[in-house]
Chains A and B, each alone.
Chain A
């Protein structure tokens, strides 16, 4: 499709398990964002890429969270040794330019992670 694609859509992980969440941005989009949305809350910023460069990772909650975008397109968010508090929807978004101006970024439908 033409939109931001995320997989898996739903993931149930046992506590302590490692998970990897994938994001396929819109083709050619320079900027890519990851957000975490806990139940009943608004999304919170995790990290930002411009092409393959991770320019801002200030929102990653711990060193168990790692994100990469090695070729400047697909991105993976990895969570090691998952904890129950990691249960959330992880939203990926992309934007066509490096300098986001005016309008908006485009969100995927999210990966719903439940840690049991």
Chain B
């Protein structure tokens, strides 16, 4: 068990809908990262929050948004869903944003299926 909790484990929804994925980081970790893993794109970095503030954005679509709350949990919101959004979404956490502080531990992921 990595200590990073993601809910839900599975999500099945329809095109055009909106979903929210939740992540609780390991105790003491201030950084939260979101990644998308699809068959054709591999593991892609989406967004990074550190202590409540957005730190970096990767290949995140405008239809997607995220936030980190004062208790350090994070939510990833996906809207106007398309078939191509079907993927495994991972959250990872680390103590800090760089180097030896940035040893990232991954949650079990949320498997999103858009039908």
**Chain A partners chain B:** no
